[in-house]
Amino acid sequence: MSMNRRDFLKLGAASVAGAGVSGNAGAVMREPLSLPPEAVGMLYDSTLCIGCKACMSACKQANGLPPQPEGEDEPMWDSPVETTGDTYNVIKVYIDGDAAQKDREENGFAFMKRHCLHCVDPSCISACPVSAMIKDPQTGVVSYNADSCIGCRYCIAGCPFGIPKYQFDDPLGAIGKCSFCSHLQAKGLTPACCDVCPTGASLFGTVEDLKKEAHRRLEATPGDNYVFPRGNLSEDRPPHEGAIPLYEQHVYGEKELGGTQVMYMSAVPFEKLGLPVNVPEYGYPAITEGIQHMLYQWMVAPIAVLAGLVYVVKRNTSGKSGGEHSSGEAES
């Protein structure tokens, strides 16, 4: 009995030790993950976006997704208001007051593009019990495999950006989520939304290059003329010229929640665009997996506890008259 009790205590004490400091530093955590070697990403510059939604229809076309008409009256319009199981990309708008000026927080408006951020340490992957969410070890693209998914929807609950969606109206529904047009990338093509973007608001490239580009924009003087690359940073497409706006001095996604391969620039605060701010610089899976690894690494703790239990239970059920034991009753 003593052995078993000790094991139980150990289990409890370990959790307590971990949790006492659960705020951040010192919590039971696994190592944060780092950016894959050939990480590709996207820079979405809200100030360049003109809200034309060309990327939305290109996304639907590239992924063979049906339109989602709003209401019954005008079924010719595809007008989803959020990403859904059939909509991997949506342009939203922030509006304040009379919305007189673009990219202004008060009495202004700004565009926002929502799709998977291809996290460096993705919650959806950590959550999924059957590896239906997979991160490419080279490019870091996070894609979905419907053939193993059981539809538990933990990825939906777990994603800090609210990205994966389930097709609730389909008896054989699947999860829908941007997989960075991995099928196009495999052919050396540019993801559809970046490919069609007329202003370079959605820009494809390696994460490394995109970060440099983003910081170049932040360092430039507001009002100065700037040559904005379009489509794909590694190609030589005709650029788009314009003035540098009054950027928020931050590239969203460089550090947030362990980093994301899709990054954002904006002239209104990022929380106005619906991005979570004041979040830790590690991904939450580091916390969850910290607990899991502490308790289950190599199954050491469970096996030790089981051994203790077997010993104790055997001792407590043998050497006594049969009646004490639940199977023994039949004998008496």
Footprint of ligand SF4 (CB under 6 A):
58-59, 62-63, 88-89, 115-119, 122-124, 127-130, 132-133, 142, 149-155, 159, 161, 163-164, 175, 177-178, 180-181, 191-193
- Does the protein bind other proteins through residue 23 (CB under 8 A)? yes
Between CA 291 and CA 295 the distance in angstroms is 6
Give whichever of 69 and 280 is closer to other proteins, judged by the CB atom: 280
Beta bridge partners of 134: 143
- For residue 51, give the nearest of 203, 199, 218 by alpha carbon: 199
34 binding partner (options ligand SF4, other proteins, none; Cβ < 5 to 8 Å by kind):
none
The residues in 200-239 that bind other proteins, with binding defined as CB under 8 A, are: none
232 binding partner (options ligand SF4, other proteins, none; Cβ < 5 to 8 Å by kind):
none
Question: What's the closest the beta carbon of residue 111 comes to ligand SF4, in angstroms?
Answer: 14
Q: 158 in helix, strand or coil?
A: helix
| Residue-wise burial string across 160-197, b where 16 or more C-beta atoms lie within 10 A, e elsewhere | bbebbbbeeeeeeebbbbbbbbbebbeeeebbbbbbbb
Q: 293 in helix, strand or coil?
A: helix
89 binding partner (options ligand SF4, other proteins, none; Cβ < 5 to 8 Å by kind):
ligand SF4
Residue indicated by tokens 């009256």 = 73
Question: What's the closest the beta carbon of residue 69 comes to ligand SF4, in angstroms?
Answer: 19
- Does the protein bind other proteins through residue 260 (CB under 8 A)? no
User: In the numeric block, which tokens belong to residue 302?
Assistant: 């469970």
Looking at residue 191, its amino acid is P
- Does the protein bind other proteins through residue 331 (CB under 8 A)? yes
Question: What's the closest the beta carbon of residue 225 comes to other proteins, in angstroms?
Answer: 36
Between CA 197 and CA 200 the distance in angstroms is 6
Give whichever of 239 and 280 is closer to other proteins, judged by the CB atom: 280
177 binding partner (options other proteins, ligand SF4, none; Cβ < 5 to 8 Å by kind):
ligand SF4
DSSP secondary-structure letter at 133? E
Residues in contact with other proteins, counted by CB under 8 A, come to a total of: 93
DSSP secondary-structure letter at 186? H
- Does the protein bind other proteins through residue 70 (CB under 8 A)? no
By DSSP bridging, strand 202-206 and strand 262-265 are unpaired
Question: What's the closest the beta carbon of residue 284 comes to ligand SF4, in angstroms?
Answer: 9
- Does the protein bind other proteins through residue 263 (CB under 8 A)? no
